[in-house]
Every structure is written in C-alpha cells, then in structure tokens.
Amino acid sequence: MPTKPLVFVSLVIFALVVLVSVRNVPDPVVSQGMVAVRRVPVACRAQESPSGLRPIFNRRSALKGVVFGGMSSILANQRAAKADGVDYKAVKADIEDLIRKDMNKGPTLVRLAWHSSGTYDKMSKTGGSGPGTIRFKEELAHGANAGLENPVKWLEPIYKKYGGDISYADLYTLSGVTAIEALGGPSVPWRAGRVDAMDPSAVTPDGRLPAADMGSPKDTAAHLRAIFGRMGFNDQEIVALAGAHALGRGHVDFSGYDGPWTFTPTRFNNAYYDLLYRLDWVPTTTSAGKEQYTDSKTKKLMMLPADLVMIQDPKFRKYSQLYAKDNAKFFADFTKAFQKLEELGTSNLQSVQF
C-alpha cells in the first residue's frame, strides 16, 4: 500500500482513539448559580485579549484541535492537487510526456493556448480562453489559426483519459504553461475552472488576433496596439508577449511565412530580442508571396514585419532593448502577461497544484 494512504488511515484511527478517550475525561466543573461552569486549570488559561475577553480552553477541545488540524492540512493538500476530481499533476505529466517525445510540439501548444485566449474583447466581454471554443471547426477556420487542428488532436487522448473531468479550455491553457516551462521558460501560474461552451455559438468573429503585417511599420504598430488594447494590454505587455516568438517557426503551408525566429526554436529565452538587435535584417518574399525579413548573415532566420516593429517603434523599442539585455526581467514580465492573457474573460477560477 502506498505511504500516503497509510498515513491517512493511521490518522483516522488515531483520531477515533483520542475522541473515545477524551469523551470519558471530564473537565473540572463548579456550580455558579443555575449554570455549570468549567474551571480551567491555570496552566490552560489563555492570556486576556485586548478586548478583555478570556477564551476558555479544555483538554478535549485542545486534543480535537491537534488531531483534526493535522488531518485538515493533509486533506487540503490532497484537494489542492485534485480539485473537482481532476489530478492536474497527472494531466501536466501527460502533456510533458507529449512534448518530451517530440520537442517541436511544445511551441505549437503555446500557440494553441495563446490563440484560444487572444480573442477576448473587454468591451463586449466575449471571447478568451474560458469557453474552449478553439476546438470547433468554425474557429479553427480563422486565418490566424491555420494548423492548430493538429495540437487539438494531440490533446484529445489526454482529454478522454480523464473522462471529460477536465474542460478543453483548462486543458489547452494548461498545455501552454506546461510547454513554456518544459522548454526552459518560467513557471507561469495557472488556475483551473474554465467551463466549455457546448456549441460553436460562442465562437467570436474572425480578425481578433494580431496580423503580421499591415503594410507599413506605423500602421502595423497601430494595429498591434488596437488588437492588444482591446484585450487590455499596454505597450510593455505587448512587447513581453511578443517574446514567445523565441519558440517555433513559420510554416509556409500554414501562414505563408517560412523559417524559425531563433537558432533555438525549442528553447524559451530572450534570444528573440537579442537577435532583433544584433543581426541585420533584409526584406525577402516567401514562396507563398508573403513579405518577411531574413538575417543577412546566415539567411536561416526570419522575422515578421510585426517583429521588426518591436525595434522600429520608439515606445516598443525601449522594452525590447531591456529584454535583450535582461533575461530575468523578460521572464518576470512575460509570466505576468501570459497569465493575464490566459485568464481574460474567465471567472471563478481556483488555484490548484499542478
């Protein structure tokens, strides 16, 4: 039998023994008029409180407090790890195993979590990760979501393994923070409790996710501020979230763009910002006719027009410079922004161990 169940059973038996024992041990009682008052031994009396009231303790209540206090602590830890019948540590382990078998799936899981969350509109209070609508074909058909049917399929066996106890929305967002950590990034706080929409009626209109190019740096910067501003993000948060492009690559058959952003596309770090500044970027056209930038030295890396805006726009540039020099600062700011992104529009989330 595992150790934890043995400890729990032992505590239960101990509690029963103590309760039976103390039941027959009376506390000293004196008569005061019509009321029986327990006489508390001097050693057991509490110090008088600032209010002048003196709490009264007795041996039975003290023993109960010790026994049940310890049991409550153990049970609370068990509930935290397994809320609503879901063992989130086990779910996370399954996601990690998926990534371990193919590290290239990690960046795509981050993209799934990002895109499932980035549809939120603070004015209409619609969209966001809460209803888990990215699993519906209607949302997968949105232009920015090309190729995301693949991670949805990868996660389906994990969803079924837990009998539907975990929502798709929780599974997708948990996969994002798990992938970031598994690829060397920060541990992003995550909370459970999203409730799936049952049909596609909750799918938001296409066009809520950021585009890679609006024709000019000025227009692209304005577009990014409009898209992220709709969700409630400021300039610093926009630049921090852009750092997720340290992971993965553009796939010409999905987005029309081609190539990785960094030399380590399965390693989460601040290389995205560092390379933006250190390398010379020249405009090129992909086989799909998309305008992007390629590094002039190796010609192996690419940047989107929206990426170059991170150093072209003066307000964005000061944060990009900061993150290029300070990986710890990038991790700290990204952690806050990504948790905020995944919780946009949600309610009644609960902290769990995962």
Q: Which tens digits make up the pLDDT trace of 220-279?
A: 999 999 999 999 999 999 999 999 999 999 999 999 999 999 999 999 999 999 999 999
Above 70 in pLDDT, residue 38?
no
Above 60 in pLDDT, residue 71?
no
Q: Could you give the strand order of the β-sheet that contains 291-295, starting from the edge strand earlier in sequence?
A: 281-285, 291-295, 302-303
Above 70 in pLDDT, residue 297?
yes
Task: Say which residue, 20 or 143, is predicted with more confidence.
Answer: 143
- pTM of this prediction? 0.78
- Residues in CB range of 24: below 8 A, 6 or more apart: none
What is the b/e burial string over 135-173, where b = at least 16 CB atoms within 10 angstroms of the residue's CB?
A: bbeebbebebbeebeebbebbeebbeebeeebbbbbbbb
Which residues are catalytic, by number?
A: 115, 261
Integer Cα distance of 172 and 255 in angstroms: 21
Kindly report, residue by residue over 84-137, the tens digit of the pLDDT.
Answer: 689 999 999 999 999 999 999 999 999 999 999 999 999 999 999 999 999 999
Q: Is 302 helix (H, G, I), strand (E, B) or coil?
A: strand
Q: Which of 281, 343, 352, 347 is nearest to 310 (CA)?
A: 281
What is the b/e burial string over 310-330, where b = at least 16 CB atoms within 10 angstroms of the residue's CB?
A: bbbbeebbebbbbbbeeeeeb
**pLDDT given at position 164:** 83
Q: Is 50 helix (H, G, I), strand (E, B) or coil?
A: coil
Integer Cα distance of 317 and 331 in angstroms: 17
Query: Phi, psi (5° rounding) for residue 136?
Result: -80, 145
Strand partners, 283: 293
Do the Cβ atoms of 282 and 333 come closer than 8 Å?
A: no
Tracing tokens 């990038």 back to the chain, one arrives at 330
**pLDDT given at position 85:** 83
What type of residue is 214? M
**pLDDT given at position 83:** 52
Above 70 in pLDDT, residue 34?
no
Integer Cα distance of 12 and 271 in angstroms: 54
**pLDDT given at position 290:** 97
Report the chain's mean pLDDT, rounded to a whole number. 84
Integer Cα distance of 273 and 308 in angstroms: 10
Q: How many CA atoms lie within 13 A of 150 on its CB side?
A: 14
Helix (H) or strand (E) holding 83: none
Above 70 in pLDDT, residue 31?
no
Tracing tokens 């074909």 back to the chain, one arrives at 137
Helix (H) or strand (E) holding 36: strand 35-38
Strand partners, 126: 121
Task: Say which residue, 21 or 301, is predicted with more confidence.
Answer: 301
Chain-centroid distance of CA 59 in Å reads 46
CA distances from 159 to 78, 92, 198 (A): 21, 12, 15
Q: How many CA atoms lie within 13 A of 310 on its CB side?
A: 27
Total count of residues recorded for the chain: 354
**pLDDT given at position 35:** 34
